[in-house]
Homo-oligomer: A and B are copies of this chain.
């Protein structure tokens, strides 16, 4: 059971941006290169983060991307809930499951998924980069 790659890289992008100095700009290609994923995929991830108001994109020659909110104001449970397409735990529809009309599994999974999100809602982006001082030398060393 894992987050989709889309959400996963969304969270890592936010963590990376939070590790930079407050006004420092990064770029899609920089984030893609750090995490060794395709720039195309990162365009979509960062586009969604911008649409959701977490990331600010500044156009032009000296443009780039940065956090649009303070790390302490970015709730990780909310980021996951907004980025994940599938918070149902199982795919009942595309498998045409015969159990759909009377299945209790999906209710149990919905309850468990809420417990997962409630736990993640106790964290902000600031908590995830609390040891920022250890993070920066790693980024510089790459």
Contact = CB atoms under 8 A, between A and B. Distances in A.
A140 to B, nearest CB: 11
A68 interface: no
A116 B120 CA distance: 11
A105 B119 contact: no
B113 A1 contact: yes
Contact of A108 (B76, B88, B108, B131): B76
Contacts of A102: 131, 134-135, 138
B112 A36 contact: no
Contacts of A120: 108-109, 112
A58 interface: no
A138 B101 contact: yes
Contacts of A129: 104
19 contacts: A1-B1, A1-B7, A1-B84, A3-B89, A11-B105, A12-B99, A12-B105, A15-B99, A34-B98, A35-B95, A36-B95, A37-B95, A98-B139, A101-B138, A102-B131, A102-B135, A109-B120, A112-B120, A116-B116
Given A1-B7, A98-B139, 18 more contacts: A1-B3, A1-B4, A1-B113, A2-B89, A2-B91, A15-B103, A98-B138, A98-B142, A99-B138, A104-B128, A104-B129, A104-B130, A105-B128, A108-B119, A108-B123, A112-B120, A115-B115, A115-B116
